[in-house]
């Protein structure tokens, strides 16, 4: 449930961000997203700055760098590609991670089914895609895989939302020079700042907090496959909010991705029940 709600918020936020690109630019949008997310999280979590180990701070710095890079590449791709296609390419990162992280043969089945869905989702629009946009999206895919690993590490070393708040602040600082140059005088408009805050809540604060809680309850492989459902929510958001229509092949892709996600959840549940049963003492 955490993952599903987070994805829905994230794609609505991405759709709103696309509408703001003409005013603030993609990197300006990244800066607004990270800055407002950091402010909200710092107010909510009020993390301790002292008392953390060097390992903990290295994890925070790495997570902040990954956040800034992933968001920057994603919005640069989104400027050149449709929302559904961008997220379709981006989800290749978690798919690869799901295969590498899992030791169960069933992970290959569900990852393969999800990959078939990803290919079908992009089947209506791969021709004539902007090459630089595709490269940005592939970079975002790699960053997303690193995000999953970095987020899990921070979640294990910091209580509550402390690590996420500190990492988001680090990412915001890194994005400042690029965002200021890209957005320029638009940063003085209160209406755009308000919309930027809304994007931050929908695209970063709420999803990242929910995903961090989900990572504490799910294995990395299962979480990665569940995140593969993002092309479905992105295509739906693109259709409803941006007027990007879906082909029959894209609809088939959505069904395949949903089936893969459901299969991963069911397989994980059976595996956990089997492990608990094996741990019970003999009568």
- Please write the tens of the pLDDT for every residue from 228-271: 667 777 877 888 888 777 677 777 877 787 777 667 656 655 55
Q: Average pLDDT, stretch 90-101?
A: 72
d(CA 222, CA 118): 17
Apex 262 CA angle, 220 and 121, nearest 5: 90
Residue with the bigger pLDDT between 108 and 128: it is 108
Per-residue confidence band for 77, with pLDDT thresholds at 50, 70 and 90: very high
Task: Report pLDDT for 36.
Answer: 92
Per-residue confidence band for 76, with pLDDT thresholds at 50, 70 and 90: very high
Residues 36 and 195 sit within 8 Å (Cβ to Cβ): no
d(CA 235, CA 242): 10
- Percentage of the residues of the chain whose pLDDT score is greater than 90: 26
How is residue 184 annotated by DSSP? Answer: G
Cβ neighbours of residue 177 under 8 Å, at least 6 residues apart?
none
Residues 113 and 256 sit within 8 Å (Cβ to Cβ): yes
d(CA 82, CA 18): 10
**CA distance from start to end of the chain:** 37
State the average pLDDT for the chain.
79
Measured over the CA atoms of residue 6, residue 8, residue 14 and residue 19, the dihedral's sign is negative
pTM of the model: 0.79
Task: Report pLDDT for 278.
Answer: 32
Alpha carbon dihedral 16, 208, 54, 173, in 10-degree steps, equals 10
In this predicted structure, the answer to whether residue 62 has a pLDDT above a threshold of 60 is yes
Structure tokens at 1: 């449930």
How is residue 199 annotated by DSSP? Answer: H
Say whether 11 sits in a helix, a strand or coil.
helix
Question: Which residue blocks in 129-161 are alpha helix, DSSP H?
Answer: 131-157
Residues 124 and 173 sit within 8 Å (Cβ to Cβ): no
Closest by CA position to 42, among listed 205, 178, 249: 205
Say whether 188 sits in a helix, a strand or coil.
helix
Q: Average pLDDT, stretch 39-46?
A: 87
């Amino acid at each position: 449930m955490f993952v599903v709600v987070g994805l829905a918020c994230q794609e609505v936020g991405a759709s709103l961000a696309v509408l703001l690109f003409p005013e603030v630019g993609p990197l300006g949008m990244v800066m607004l997203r990270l800055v407002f997310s950091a402010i909200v999280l710092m107010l909510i979590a009020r993390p301790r700055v002292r008392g953390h180990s060097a390992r903990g701070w290295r994890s925070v710095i790495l997570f902040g760098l990954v956040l800034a890079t992933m968001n920057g590449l994603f919005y640069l791709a989104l400027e050149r590609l449709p929302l559904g296609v961008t997220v379709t390419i981006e989800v290749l990162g978690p798919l690869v991670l799901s295969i590498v992280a899992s030791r169960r043969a069933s992970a290959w089945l569900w990852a393969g089914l999800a990959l078939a869905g990803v290919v079908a989702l992009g089947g209506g629009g791969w021709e004539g895609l902007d090459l630089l946009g595709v490269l940005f999206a592939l970079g975002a895919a790699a960053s997303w895989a690193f995000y999953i690993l970095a987020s899990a590490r921070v979640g294990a070393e910091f209580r509550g939302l402390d690590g996420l708040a500190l990492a988001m602040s680090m990412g915001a600082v890194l994005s400042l020079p690029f965002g200021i140059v890209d957005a320029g005088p638009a940063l003085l408009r209160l209406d755009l700042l308000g919309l930027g805050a809304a994007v931050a809540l929908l695209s970063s604060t709420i999803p990242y907090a929910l995903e961090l809680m989900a990572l504490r309850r799910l294995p990395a492989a299962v979480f990665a496959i569940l995140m593969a459902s993002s092309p479905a929510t992105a295509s739906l958001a693109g259709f409803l909010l941006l007027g990007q229509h879906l082909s029959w092949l894209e609809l088939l892709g959505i069904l395949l991705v949903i089936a893969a996600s459901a299969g991963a959840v069911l397989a994980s549940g059976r595996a956990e029940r089997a492990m608990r049963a094996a741990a019970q003492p003999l009568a």
